């Protein structure tokens, strides 16, 4: 039997060994988490599935000229890979929804039927419309119920979209498949010589990331991902490994970041320049030549790319360059790269007219007419330090006025900022005049840590003191966690009413 000093030494040695083992295990775990935290599909994507083009939604026009669409929210199954059925949600189908299309000045009505097992809403992202028609968290539609908003389209040609907005469950509902495009046309854009044949030279490109575990969607958040859900593959219009055959020299892509948290930096595999012609709220004043475009969740960009006969070119998403630190970039998915969509040009291409030098005059406010300045500070803990409360109105604005909003990301992680009902002008971005791609109408803006944007916005819709609109981070898990506030548009001198806690 060992004498007491020997026993002590043995205990100490054992304890040391245990500590060393623990440290090794923890560092291996951290290293593994680090190494496995970036994904890339560049160079390994097979591009063997033809790109699905969401169908244009049917509609009927009644005697008064109102155009009526129907959207049924349903649960179903989708085969992203042949022979593997995944449970998904969709509008009028099993995944995503049809493209709604209407002209400026038209009266539209949408019959939204909820056939899901839980309450949801449908919000028209980017649309200028009365608050009661907005489809935010106060316009919940119960299972089995129908909600029929209607409004008059009163904004320029643009690429908008629709998706659910139930408070606390938006990330889940969008990730399961509930999203679609809403295109607006107007005379000014139709007269321009731009590619505009839907699905042929004018292509909806809804980009989402996903992860499959067996047959199921895996929506879990990995360790350290305080950005929310990040998938390990991308799809376009619900198509994994998509290719699209093109027959025209110029192809217009309507890019929508329909992901819940991922930020994309779109570029072509040969770094070819392309023209950006539109942002969230419509066409720019003139095309901007760029070789990459960054889109955070909810943002859109319309781009026109030239292809050569017989070639194949790949739209990619490159690493994020947003000034995040090493660790922050990795866990925000910023080191990830994706092959997104292959364009296959026909051997003989139809000639396309050259892009016009100028597009449309902008109708967003200049900022000089602003009567109120406000400041918004973003952190994951809330906007201006408070979490969303459906029964609290955070901001009351007066109909017919312009305001300047300064939005600061004072957090260590990326956020963005989306405002319902309006399209704003970016007066300054990160302390400088906005770059060309931020000069048009916007409703969502990306804000890396320690950046700020100054926005000019005009509230010219109808006042409704009883119904608020939302502003929020469009990283949907952040929104669900309470990075959202409410604003109400009132007539001069009027007070906003306190909304009921529940939106039913
Ligand atoms: Cu795209 Cu408040 O939403
Ligand atoms: Cu919105
Ligand atoms: Cu955020």
Per-residue pLDDT reduced to its tens digit, 16-72: 777 777 776 667 666 666 666 789 999 999 999 999 999 999 999 999 999 999 999
Cα–Cα dist 193/144, whole Å: 45
- Among residues 426, 435, 476, 429, the alpha carbon closest in space to that of 448 is found at 429
* Angle value at C-alpha 250, between 423 and 105, nearest 5 degrees: 35
* pLDDT band of 499, cuts 50, 70, 90: confident
Query: Ligand 3 centre and the CA of 254: distance in Å?
Result: 24
Taking a C-beta distance cutoff of 8 angstroms, is the pair 180, 162 a contact? yes
**Mean pLDDT over residues 123-133, rounded?**
98
Taking a C-beta distance cutoff of 8 angstroms, is the pair 467, 488 a contact? yes
Per-residue pLDDT reduced to its tens digit, 235-284: 999 999 999 999 999 999 999 999 999 999 999 999 999 999 999 999 99
Q: Decide if pLDDT at 352 tops 70.
A: yes
Taking a C-beta distance cutoff of 8 angstroms, is the pair 299, 258 a contact? no
Q: What are phi and psi of 187, to 5 degrees?
A: -65, -40
Buried b (16+ CB within 10 A) or exposed e, 470-498: bbbbbbbbbbbbbbbbbbbbbeeeeebee
Q: Decide if pLDDT at 15 tops 80.
A: no
Q: What are phi and psi of 13, to 5 degrees?
A: -60, -45
Enumerate the H helices of 176-296 as residue ranges: 187-191
Taking a C-beta distance cutoff of 8 angstroms, is the pair 139, 162 a contact? no
Looking at residue 501, its pLDDT comes to 65
Query: Ligand 3 centre and the CA of 414: distance in Å?
Result: 6
* pLDDT band of 1, cuts 50, 70, 90: very low
**Mean pLDDT over residues 443-453, rounded?**
97
Work out the number of other CB atoms within 10 angstroms of the CB of residue 108.
25
- Ligand nearest to the Cα of 163, by number: 1
Query: Ligand 3 centre and the CA of 388: distance in Å?
Result: 13
Q: What are phi and psi of 497, to 5 degrees?
A: -85, 155
Q: Which atom of ligand 1 is nearest the CA belonging to 125?
A: 1
Which residues contact ligand 1 via a Cβ below 6 A? 123, 125, 163, 165, 298, 418, 420, 470, 472, 474
HSE of 172 in the Cβ direction (CA atoms, 13 Å)?
Answer: 12
Cα–Cα dist 463/488, whole Å: 8
Largest CA distance in the chain: 103
Cα–Cα dist 408/419, whole Å: 14
Tracing tokens 């009505």 back to the chain, one arrives at 109
- Tell me the domains of the chain and their CATH numbers: 52-190 (2.60.40.420), 202-350 (2.60.40.420), 370-490 (2.60.40.420)
Residue nearest atom 3 of ligand 1, based on CA coordinates: 125
Q: Specify the higher pLDDT residue, 240 or 327.
A: 240
Per-residue pLDDT reduced to its tens digit, 296-307: 999 999 999 999
Taking a C-beta distance cutoff of 8 angstroms, is the pair 57, 69 a contact? yes
User: What percent of the chain is predicted at pLDDT more than 70?
Assistant: 96
Per-residue pLDDT reduced to its tens digit, 304-324: 999 999 999 999 999 999 999
Q: Decide if pLDDT at 368 tops 60.
A: yes
Q: Decide if pLDDT at 6 tops 80.
A: no
Residue nearest atom 1 of ligand 1, based on CA coordinates: 125
Cα–Cα dist 215/195, whole Å: 38
Cα–Cα dist 177/95, whole Å: 5
Beta-strand relationship, 401-409 and 395-398: unpaired
Query: Ligand 2 centre and the CA of 444: distance in Å?
Result: 8
Taking a C-beta distance cutoff of 8 angstroms, is the pair 336, 365 a contact? no
The tokens for 329 are: 């970039």
């Amino acid at each position: 039997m060992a004498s007491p000093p020997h026993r002590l030494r043995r205990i100490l040695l054992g304890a040391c060994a245990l500590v060393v083992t623990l440290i090794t295990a923890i560092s291996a775990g951290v290293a593994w988490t680090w190494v496995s935290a970036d994904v890339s599909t560049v160079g390994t994507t097979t591009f063997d599935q033809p790109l699905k083009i969401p169908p244009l939604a049917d509609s009927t026009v009644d005697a008064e000229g109102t155009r009526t669409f129907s959207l049924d929210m349903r649960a179903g199954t989708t085969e992203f890979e042949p022979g593997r059925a995944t449970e998904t949600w969709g509008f009028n189908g099993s995944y995503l929804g049809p493209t709604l299309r209407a002209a400026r000045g038209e009266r539209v009505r949408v019959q939204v039927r909820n056939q899901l097992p839980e309450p949801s809403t449908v919000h028209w992202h980017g649309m200028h419309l009365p608050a009661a028609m907005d489809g935010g968290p106060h316009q919940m539609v119960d299972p089995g119920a129908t909600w029929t908003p209607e409004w008059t389209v009163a904004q320029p040609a643009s690429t908008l979209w629709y998706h659910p907005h139930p408070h606390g469950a938006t990330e889940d509902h969008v990730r399961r498949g509930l999203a679609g495009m809403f295109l607006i046309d107007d005379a000014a854009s139709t007269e321009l010589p731009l590619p505009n044949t839907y699905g042929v030279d004018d292509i909806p490109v809804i980009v989402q990331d996903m992860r499959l575990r067996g047959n199921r969607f895996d929506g879990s958040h990995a360790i350290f991902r305080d950005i929310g859900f990040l998938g390990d593959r991308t799809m376009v219009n619900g198509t994994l490994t998509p290719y699209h055959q093109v027959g025209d020299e110029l192809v217009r892509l309507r890019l929508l970041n329909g992901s819940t948290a991922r930020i994309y930096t779109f570029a072509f595999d040969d770094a070819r320049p392309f023209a950006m012609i539109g942002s969230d709220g419509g066409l720019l004043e003139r095309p901007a030549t760029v070789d990459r475009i960054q889109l955070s969740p909810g943002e859109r960009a319309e781009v026109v790319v030239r292809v050569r006969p017989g070639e194949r070119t790949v739209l990619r998403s490159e690493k994020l360059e947003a000034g995040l630190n090493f660790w922050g970039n990795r866990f925000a998915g910023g080191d990830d790269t994706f092959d997104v969509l292959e364009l296959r040009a026909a051997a003989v291409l139809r000639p396309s007219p050259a892009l016009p030098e100028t597009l449309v005059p902008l109708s967003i406010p200049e900022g000089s007419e602003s009567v109120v300045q406000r400041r918004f500070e973003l952190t994951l803990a809330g906007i201006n330090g408070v979490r969303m409360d459906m029964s609290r109105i955070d901001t009351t604005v007066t109909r017919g006025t312009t305001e300047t909003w300064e939005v600061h990301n004072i957090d260590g992680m990326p956020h963005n900022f989306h405002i319902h009902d309006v399209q704003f002008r970016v007066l300054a971005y990160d302390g400088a005049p906005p770059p060309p791609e931020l000069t048009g109408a916007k409703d969502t803006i990306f804000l890396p840590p320690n950046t700020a944007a100054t926005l000019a916005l005009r509230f010219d819709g109808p006042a409704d003191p009883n119904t608020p609109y939302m502003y929020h981070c469009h990283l949907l898990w952040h929104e669900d966690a309470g990075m959202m506030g409410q604003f109400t548009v009132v007539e001069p001198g009027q007070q906003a009413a306190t909304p009921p806690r529940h939106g039913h």
